[in-house]
Amino acid sequence: MGVYQGNDFKKISGGKKRPHRSNRKYELGSYPTHTTLSSEEHSIIRERVRGGNIKLRVKRCLYVNVTDPKTGRSKKCRVLKILETPANREYSQRGIITKGSIVETELGKARITSRPGQEGVINAVLLG
């Protein structure tokens, strides 16, 4: 089931705004993925989006690709725990990973630079 992303029913003045037409297929969105930390293998969802394209969404993750900015090398590391999520304080308590989240890995603290619910991969940069 989709989420309606159109702007037909909002009015700034507070008055009632009645729709002049029905919802359109191209105005559909989708529910957020809420990528979580898992102890099992990570799972990826393949979803058809507008234009017939495929969007990969990470549902559960165990590993992250961590890049060291000093050396420029990347390594696949296990995520130990989620420390902070600037998007929403509740997300770190619930174990949800978004772009900008700070996670504890085997190499140390790292900031997520990819969008797990949109790109199908989790990349991070090691913090000083």
What pLDDT is attached to residue 19?
Answer: 75
- pLDDT, one tens digit per residue, over 54-113 is 999 999 999 999 999 999 999 999 999 999 999 999 998 999 999 999 999 999 999 999
Spans of all domains in the chain: 33-126
Kindly state the average pLDDT of the residues 9-28: 77
Give the residue ranges of DSSP H helices in 48-103: 89-94
Q: Which fold has domain 33-126?
A: 3.10.290
Measured torsion, CA atoms of residues 101, 102, 103, 106, in degrees rounded to the nearest 10:
140
Q: 70-80: per-residue pLDDT in tens? A: 999 999 999 99
The pTM (predicted TM-score) of the whole model is 0.81
Report the DSSP beta bridge partners of residue 47: 55
Give me 27's structure tokens: 């105005």
